Amino acid sequence: MTAMANPCNIAADLEKYIVRKAPPTVYYIPNFIKEAEEECLLKQVYSSPKPKWTQLSGRRLQNWGGLPHPKGMVAEKLPDWLLKYAEKISLLGAFAGKTANHVLVNEYKPGEGIMPHEDGPLYHPTVTTITLGSHTLLDFYRPVCQNQTEIPQTEESRYMLSLLVQRQSLLILQDDMYKCYLHGIKGVYDDVLSEHVVNLSSAGAQVGDTLSRSTRVSLTIRHVPKVIRANLLLGKK
Ligand SMILES: O=C(O)CCC(=O)C(=O)O
């Protein structure tokens, strides 16, 4: 994979990584990082100061780059170990020529997950995720349909498809897959792979496989377009 001539469009050589069985657009890039890089990133995550962690129900996280806010994010410089990957992914054109300025580090122990949600309007509508330590299954759901009131819409009835994200991979979600559908991770210990997992061959797995989870750390790398300078907040020029 090369850095591209026109960084405003996603690199043409990424086209072969499009997951065609999903709505537009999913790029799944196996082995995006090497094992040594994975080790190095995990070492950095776990040597971050303890107060950097926020414990939520079902996962814990580190927020880097500032807190996204409708009025603008007070941007903080990303540490070099994250900036390296923010720049590398941005050079692929993932953020329409802009450089990612925000990273969420999520840690999921086996049995943990995240409720179906949308990433919302504070980010450029692309989410890129590097997976460390363990695979997971990312599940996608149609949104609740407002004019459909007679039949209850369960999570099960809104379920659409899953993606298997292996450790060391990069996942890029854009377009409808960012804007129209919700994504979540079930809090399970094992994943039984079905035909609803639409990237099995590129993820090196087969229908019927059972994969046991270990601790997964994800780096969710995004671009927050609206930023404010800290010294503006303090009333300085
Ligand atoms: O860990 C992941 O891959 C998903 C994270 C996520 O959806 C989020 O942080 O909003």
Q: Where are the domains of the chain?
A: 12-233
In angstroms, what is the span from residue 230 Cα to ligand 1's centroid?
Answer: 27
User: Residue 39 in 3-state DSSP?
Assistant: helix
CATH annotation of 12-233: 2.60.120.590
Q: Name which residue sits closest to atom 3 of ligand 1, judged by CA.
A: 218
Q: At what angle do helices 80-90 and 35-46 cross, to 10 degrees?
A: 130
Which candidate, 229, 159, 169, 154, places its Cα nearest to that of 197?
159
pLDDT attached to residue 230: 72
In angstroms, what is the span from residue 232 Cα to ligand 1's centroid?
Answer: 31
**Which of 129, 177, 186 is the pocket-test mutation for ligand 1 (most atoms within 8 Å of CB)?**
129
pLDDT attached to residue 148: 65
pTM: 0.93
pLDDT tens profile 152-185: 688 898 999 999 999 999 999 999 999 999 999 9
